[in-house]
Amino acid sequence: MPLTIFVTFIRQQYVHMEKNSRRTFNTMLAKGIGATALAAHLPLSCAMGNNQKKKKLGIALVGLGSYSTYQLAPALQDTRHCYLAGIVTGTAAKEKIWANRYNIPQENIYNYENFDTIADNDAIDVVYVVLPNSMHAEFSVRAAEAGKHVICEKPMAMNVAECDAIIDACNKAGVKLGMGYRLHSEPYTQEVKRFVREKTFGDVLYVSADAAYRSTGNPNQWRLNRKLSGGGALMNMGVYAIQSAIYSTGENPVSVTAQEFSTRPAYFKDTDETITAQFEFASGAVANMMTSHNVRANRLYASCVNGWFELDPASTYIPLAGRTSRGELDFPQESQQKLQMDDFASHVLYGTPKLAPGEMGKRDMIIVEAIYKSIAEGGKKQQMNFEPKYGFGG
């Protein structure tokens, strides 16, 4: 068998090594090719065995609110490459509940004060920060300094400067950083990105992206407190609309113009209620986005030279639905959180592509700040110029 073909085979076996014991894998290598020759052709991480000591990575959830409780923790019961290993909470009553429900040992339970001692816990490989926005930077940096890989929920931080602090801390510590952008791992969104990449319907001319829900709950919730959230609908649902406008054109915007509306000022006293924005792209494509905490909307539509595609709903957990000018889209429905966390764990373990890097989170915060600036300046157009590293996520 030619060496190049055999090495390709070995790589494939390595990626799927959870099906085989490491001893079996090493036996395969010994029978097929010498270690020195193999090392010359395999990626460094494979040749040296970096990050390959575990079949599954242990994840600690930091913050046990509704998203951790009803989405992330259940999803971690079905993941292939990672599992729920620990928790970090500021509510003592939750410790026993979670420990009993998920069989979490006491040594893997932390609070916000003793969090830094997680550095000594080899059972935890990844820290997933699921806290109010104002705490993202602090705990992402602390996790990196503890030597743990980091997943940060959206939005990445309160501002671009905090995004830089997170990225710098992870780079300095040599740990991986990913955003909790679940949609990049689910099949409908991946199909949209394929349409754009392969020009299935020709060049994209126009995109409409809406992401909104009506908030009627506690007016004192943290999402309506600017000190904790950094903003309102734009910092929450708006990130989905920004993302979908970008991966539906295959470009980062070159300019944005924005407007803000409020019809319930007594309820939205401290944060934005409804925001609309218009993007321009270098190709000539344009996009309109709307985000709100006061209306229900969840749709992505793109008009192209030779047809159109649409997701409606476009950003709910499940099920999504889609159609094109050529017919309906139909993909199996799985937990997006499961797919997202498995994709990140696979990246850490096997070097597969990172679908939502920290730079993407920073890019979105640059756009958020430009939108707020446009509103503050009466709708003045804001120019943006992104470096190639802020890829559109195709």
Return the pLDDT at 1: 42
62 token code pair = 């930091």
326 token code pair = 């050529």
Q: What is the rounded CA–CA span in Å between residue 170 and residue 149?
A: 8
> How many CB atoms neighbour CB 196 within 10 A?
22
Return the pLDDT at 393: 52
Residues 289 and 262: beta-carbon distance below 8 Å? no
Return the pLDDT at 389: 67
Q: What is the rounded CA–CA span in Å between residue 73 and residue 337?
A: 9
Return the pLDDT at 388: 72
Cα atoms in the Cβ-side hemisphere of radius 13 Å centred on 68:
24
Q: Which residues pair with 357 in a beta bridge?
A: 178
Q: What is the rounded CA–CA span in Å between residue 340 and residue 179?
A: 9
Residues 79 and 342: beta-carbon distance below 8 Å? yes
Residues 130 and 107: beta-carbon distance below 8 Å? no
Return the pLDDT at 5: 39
Reduced to 3 states (helix: H, G, I; strand: E, B; else coil), residue 260 is strand
Sequence length of the chain is 394
Sign of the Cα pseudo-torsion (354, 242, 274, 335, in order): negative
The closest alpha carbon to 206, from 290, 309, 303, belongs to: 303
Q: What is the rounded CA–CA span in Å between residue 184 and residue 342?
A: 12
Q: What is the CATH number of domain 183-332+362-383?
A: 3.30.360.10
Q: Calculate the CA dihedral of residues 351, 354, 359, 360 and round it to 10 degrees.
A: 170
The closest alpha carbon to 25, from 41, 40, 38, belongs to: 38
Q: Which residues pair with 260 in a beta bridge?
A: 275
Instruction: Provide the residue-wise pLDDT of the chain in tens; the chain has 394 residues.
Output: 443 333 333 334 433 333 333 333 333 333 333 333 333 333 333 433 344 457 999 999 999 999 999 999 999 999 999 999 999 999 999 999 999 999 999 999 999 999 999 999 999 999 999 999 999 999 999 999 999 999 999 999 999 999 999 999 999 999 999 999 999 999 999 999 999 999 999 999 999 999 999 999 899 999 999 999 999 999 999 999 999 999 999 999 999 999 999 999 999 999 999 999 999 999 999 999 999 999 999 999 999 999 999 999 999 998 899 999 999 999 999 999 999 999 999 999 999 999 999 999 999 999 999 999 999 999 999 999 998 767 655 4
Residues 130 and 65: beta-carbon distance below 8 Å? yes
Residues of the chain with CATH 3.40.50.720: 57-180
Q: What is the rounded CA–CA span in Å between residue 307 and residue 291?
A: 26
Which whole-number Å values give the CA distances from 85 to 68, 128, 351, in the listed order? 13, 11, 22
Reduced to 3 states (helix: H, G, I; strand: E, B; else coil), residue 162 is helix
194 token code pair = 């394929």
Q: What are phi and psi of 34, to 5 degrees?
A: -70, 150
Q: What is the rounded CA–CA span in Å between residue 247 and residue 104?
A: 38
Spatial strand order of the sheet with 327-329 comes to 327-329, 322-324, 307-311, 294-304, 204-214, 286-292, 274-280, 255-261, 382-383
Residue in the structure block whose two tokens are 């709903």:
313
Return the CATH class of domain 57-180.
alpha beta
User: How does 132-163 read in b/e, with b if 16+ C-beta sit within 10 Å?
Assistant: bbbbbbbbbbbbbebbbbbbbbbbbbbbeebb
Q: What is the rounded CA–CA span in Å between residue 225 and residue 233?
A: 12
Residues 241 and 291: beta-carbon distance below 8 Å? yes
15 token code pair = 């990626």
Return the pLDDT at 29: 33
Q: What is the rounded CA–CA span in Å between residue 160 and residue 166?
A: 10
- The single-letter DSSP state of residue 356 is S
Residues of the chain with CATH 3.30.360.10: 183-332+362-383
